[in-house]
Amino acid sequence: MGSSSAFVAATIFLTLMLHESNAQLNSTFYANTCPNVSSIVSNVIQQALQSDSRIGASLIRLHFHDCFVNGCDASILLDGTASFLSEKNAAPNANSTRGFDVVDNIKTALENSCPGIVSCADILAIAAEASVSLAGGPTWNVLLGRRDSLTANQAGANSSLPSPVEGLSNITSKFSAVGLNTNDLVALSGAHTFGRAQCSLFVGRLYNFNGTGNPDPTISSSYLATLQQTCPQNGSGTVLANLDPSTPDSFDNNYFTNLQNNQGLLQSDQELFSTTGSATVSIVNSFSSNQTAFFQSFAQSMINMGNISPLTGSSGEIRSDCKKVNGS
């Protein structure tokens, strides 16, 4: 083999090796060690849905809030210890993230079936897909093989998670910081096609938006009246409103039609459509008119998000209890 062809062969080999190291996750990771993992997860979620119609949205949010902080490593599930503060108590998560009990139930079921095999980080990824699928949304092959962190990062949760009131350019930057683009941002925002939000997250839009003394002008007047009834000016901040007023528990593309009708619940929702000149507007229009395009983009963006900095190989561990590091 001539030196140039040997170099090309070596380059191809190196490229494949690099690709492998970036793509250590794969959809058949548990095929031999825990073949029923997906059905076990799905069954527990189906049970939970009987008494809690919003649990699917809560579970997908756990995966999102996990992946944006130190990657998809189940750090969000850890309770605090003497050596680190829990992400559960970070401002974006405290009194807001939920579903930890269902994750524990999934873990218990998996430990009974295949002990010590399935990571808590992978449980969150599988649960997100199952939750979407069970609500009528797309299905996808979840890539697996993540391992669980040995620590949490409360400061990172406070700084890295997008806030519903911080404006589209900041949110775009936070997505970009973890390798997600504008299409991912709009597609993943479509998860607000189901679930609820507390009044405290959007009451600022209803009466005195950004200190103007008036409501946010991008809320339709009829929707504003409805929301003001749900969330009176000095009422409880914990009252819940549907993120999608039209089909609150179904995974569909109505979220995007709502934005076109000025019926986005959160500021961060409505800004995707109402920010003049933003690249997000045409994507909202596309997803509103074509649910298949939304479903395909959503599935791919969930895979992209699930690929954020996973621990693989011998990094981290497989926790036996998702709330705590092994041996603690």
Q: Is 41 annotated as a binding residue?
A: no
Binding residue per annotation — 35?
no
Distance set, CA 301 to CA 47, 79, 180 (Å): 27, 29, 8
Is 257 annotated among the ligand-binding residues? no
| Residue type (1 letter), 319 | R
Q: Is residue 156 marked as binding?
A: no
The CA-to-CA distance between both ends of the chain, in Å, stands at 56
H-run or E-run covering 242: strand 240-242
- Angle formed at CA 70 by CA 158 and CA 191, multiple of 5 degrees: 75
Give yes or no for a contact between 150 and 171, defined as CB atoms under 8 angstroms apart.
no
Q: How far is it, in rounded angstroms, from Cα 110 to Cα 108?
A: 5
- Which residues contact residue 169 at a Cβ distance below 8 angstroms, ignoring those fewer than 6 apart? none
244 is in an annotated binding site: yes
Helices (H), the chain: 3-22, 37-49, 55-67, 100-113, 120-134, 154-160, 168-177, 182-189, 221-230, 254-260, 267-274, 280-289, 291-306
Question: CB neighbours of 318 closer than 8 A, spacing ≥ 6?
Answer: 116, 117, 118, 119, 147, 148
Ligand-binding site membership of 19 (annotated): no
Residue 33 is labelled as binding a ligand: no
Asked if residue 276 belongs to a known ligand binding site, the reply is no
Catalytic option among 54, 61, 65, 319: 65
Respond yes or no: is residue 65 known to be catalytic.
yes
Does the annotation list 321 as a binding residue?
A: no
CA atoms within 13 A on the CB side of 78: 28
Residue recorded with tokens 């605090």: 80
Q: Is 99 annotated as a binding residue?
A: no
The reply, when asked if residue 104 is annotated as ligand binding, is no
Backbone region of residue 132 per phi and psi (left: phi > 0; alpha: psi in -120 to 50; beta: other values) = alpha
Does the annotation flag 184 for ligand binding? no
Q: Which parts are annotated binding residues for heme b?
A: 192
Residues tagged active-site: 65
Q: Which parts are annotated binding residues for substrate?
A: 162
Q: Which parts are annotated binding residues for Ca(2+)?
A: 66, 69, 71, 73, 75, 87, 193, 244, 247, 252
Q: Which parts are annotated binding residues?
A: 66, 69, 71, 73, 75, 87, 162, 192-193, 244, 247, 252
